[in-house]
Structure 1
Amino acid sequence: MELKELLKRLPEGSVALRKLRDPEVNIDNICFLTATTRCIHSNVLYFSDDVHLPEAPVEEIFNLVLFGCQEVPKGLLESASCNVILLRLEFNPFSCYNDLQGFFLEDIQVTDIVRRMLTAHFTNNGLQYLIEEASRALGNPIVVVDSAYHYVARHVEGRLNPQNPIDRVLEQEFHYESILEDGVAFIEHERISERCAQSSTPIVVYNEVLGANTMVTPSVVHGVTIAHTMMIERDHPFGEVDVECMARLGRFVAQEMQKTNLYVASRGQMDSYFLTSLLNDEQPSHAVTARRLSVLDFRPLPELYLAVFDPNHADVAPHDLDSIAMQLTGCLTNSIYATYERALVVLFSREKGTGLGDYTEELLRKVADVNDLSVGVSNAFEDLTHIQSHYEQARAAISAGRLVSVFLEDGQVYHYCDYAYVQMLDLTNKQYNLLNFVHPSLMRLARYDREHGTELMDTLFIYLQNACNTQRSARMLSLHKNTLLYRLGRIREILGCDLSSGEDQFMLQLSYRVLFYLDLFKSRLNISRKDFRAEED
């Protein structure tokens, strides 16, 4: 912090004399000079009486608040490297020190919080992620509301408590993704938008609907207020740190909203039309595509993914898909979307080699679960003119995922790379009898189960899925390890192989997939993909 800014926090009327050779010197610490002080540092502001001043002249910049004397020693006044402030005798130097120290620590706290928000902003994880980080850093709920009073981002740490009046209102509004009638009436009656526009800092107003103070700051783009960011005094009282940080957050929100095409209606319609026409074009031209991207000023990152959000129920309206798109706000940075063939289609763009990212993957699962959707995600691609084939991949992933979910639950988000083999079976099934590809030894095991009432097919499937790990398999099957080993011995006898060969394992896994596809075998266990991830045994 610059010295001149720090000194503004000294009590009014406390300075008798001020002589600053370099008022812009950066101060990193404040301390009292003592008899044990051996070295003077140019980034420290020292408090001292005339008894503890250094005897030898200080060659580097010496920042000093002098107290307990009538005048400044002549040597300090004439020094070309000394910034000196003389306090009036009637002012307590310890009180002045505490005032500066409090402000100094407050500035450090602001810097840490702003750095945290800035880091979130530059991760390109989107507006929702920025608001989550800001809310955690400031310790109170934060919401972003657009000009139509819809929530475009929000975060409350922990679970909402219906017994708390604030939480009760927030829970209702979060359910509808919008400020309700009472809240809108309050905002308009209190002229919140006008007051924000007239203030150079965030405003604080008591919100009668919430029963709590709210701090509000606008997000302005090209002179137009596109949203308001609000923090609610729920978990701790507001302070000076909150004012400074919320002012910065309002600017970050404006920058994030410019990156997300959802918020400018005309721009969003153009992007939607571009994506739809691209999907309809069987042979898109590189030159035409590049020219249209230039007109749209859309510069996708090098790695592309196409995701299709397909409702699992028939009664879905276009505005429902728009609502789903709003819920995806947090991950739509550098992305565009459109409604296509009664589904929501999103073109994600990401940096090379980063994938969609954990944050986006988790948000896709949440949105799919809340709205009863199946989500298909294509493989990565780089050339937009290849979008049609990757749209087919996403659609194929949904079809395959719904089929395979009878034995492997994937949270309704299906990546084509995990289900490509099902499309291969689809194509093969049109020309060949797929049972020809089932290994005869597995058919013998299935016949043995039917004749003896055993569950060896299930046992072998779980064992293969767990990469032949007996401990994890026994745990999943709820068997003692010795019981599993006995069953595996019997399975090896029936199959006529010891299961140690990669070739045998591949043919058996393929055979299981064919039987699942033909609906000739179902596992009795309800399992998910994450159940097969490696873990410590």
Structure 2
Amino acid sequence: MKLRTVVNELMCKSTSVGREHLLDVDILLTPESRASMPSNTYLLRPCTYNDYISGKVTAARDEIVLAHSAEEIPTDTCPVGNVVAVTYEGSFHDFCRAFLELPPKLAVCELMRERIFETFLASYDLAHFVKGLNSVLQNPIIVANTELRVLASAGEFPTGESIDAAEIRGVLKSGYISEAVSRAFELDNVNHNIRLAKHSLLSTSSIHHNVWASAIIYSHNLELGRLDVLAYKHPISGFELELIDFASSLLGIMLDRLGAGGERAQAGSSLLADLLAGTFTDETSLYQQTSLLGIKRDMCYCLICVKGSIDADRPHYNKLGKIAARTVKGLLWSAQDDMLAILYPTGVNTATGFDAYHRTKRVLSAHKHFKSFIEHNQVRAFVSEPIENLLSVSARLAQCRALIASARDSWPPMVYFWEKRYAALAGAIGDIDHRDMLVDQRVLAMNRYDQEHGTNYFETMMASIRYPGSPQEAAESLSIHRNTYFYRVNKVRELFYLDYKNGDDRLALSFSAQVLEGMKLYRERL
């Protein structure tokens, strides 16, 4: 059982913990179980907060101390080590009595867990498992995928003419979570809070005041859907929250196995694989193939390479591609060994001049579902130069790979090649000696001078580039006085012979700064 479950079951008002991961460790409630205690399990001991503060009680290596306080714990104090402080309405005697009532409840919880797992092993489809889960939890259940499509439901839902009952009936009849319900979940930040917490949470709807226990369903760190349990037959306890977490992990296995997390991949992904490999040699054969897939010849695209964690492999990116295909109409994707490649439509070019950069950023920024895909799956998207001729896709792939090789932790989730061109160029040149030819030595000397003397000349000159002709804005961006700004730029002219009013010097400064970043030497001691 998790320590978080104990805190929830005791209905503690607040929790103060120095190490957040303690709430997710497995604990034992009775010392009799110590002999068979696994190495990663801790014995939980209650005490008063005053005894902990005074040093009368300390936690042994295999123990966690649960310190009781009848009053709010000061926000400026935080327990250290294996100690969790909780605020509880009632005396320490009442707290201990409630604590002693937990072992019998835990035994019942373990039996329910076994029943859930046995149901999972015996289930031949999702509906059968959800029905069995309802027989254990008693409260009604809804399982939906990431498209808000209801995959399964079970249990006795509210009846009658109430708004709650009518809305739930509408959801079950249509087979989709309604816009009103979805909006209520977003308004209450339910999904956001669950993703942050990484476990199920109780929430009360701000519209109809229903109490739900919700858990995100994951498989291989990919979000596949949501498990919602309505507190209708009886209130949901802390033990049941842990059971709901357990059930959501089993649902993740089942959804992945049954392929019920969403629609199948689009047929066009094989076409993109050929484009990436440079299989097509002429436009005629290419557009004969694309016309069969309904791809417009005058449509503009960009290539987006999506990178996940270091251990992400082709099956992982294959699942990501299936999710991405549902977010954008006309999107083509291809899973590679080390990334997911996406051909993203950005609209038809109707401008007299060149608006592709602006249009690409506008289209990607405005598509909230694609942005959510990047955010929720914790990946980064590297966007190539715009594509007007699909034969250039393989060249755009090289751009993205150069961009990925130069990536920094500080970069945003969506990285555009034309904004990081010089960093990518520096990363693609080769060894440090060759890259060094791209850097103006005056800029290099200024960077080194800042490191050795604690000055900020480099940042000041970069501000002069970001705010040309506006020294006031440049000074404000640095949080310094205007006179200090002028002192610095004059000092740079004196020490390094770099004049911020000279166009060539400004270009040298801007280009060199980007190259330094690409060399992983930006603002580091050289």
TM-score (normalizing by structure 2): 0.48
Rg larger for = 1
TM-score (normalizing by structure 1): 0.48
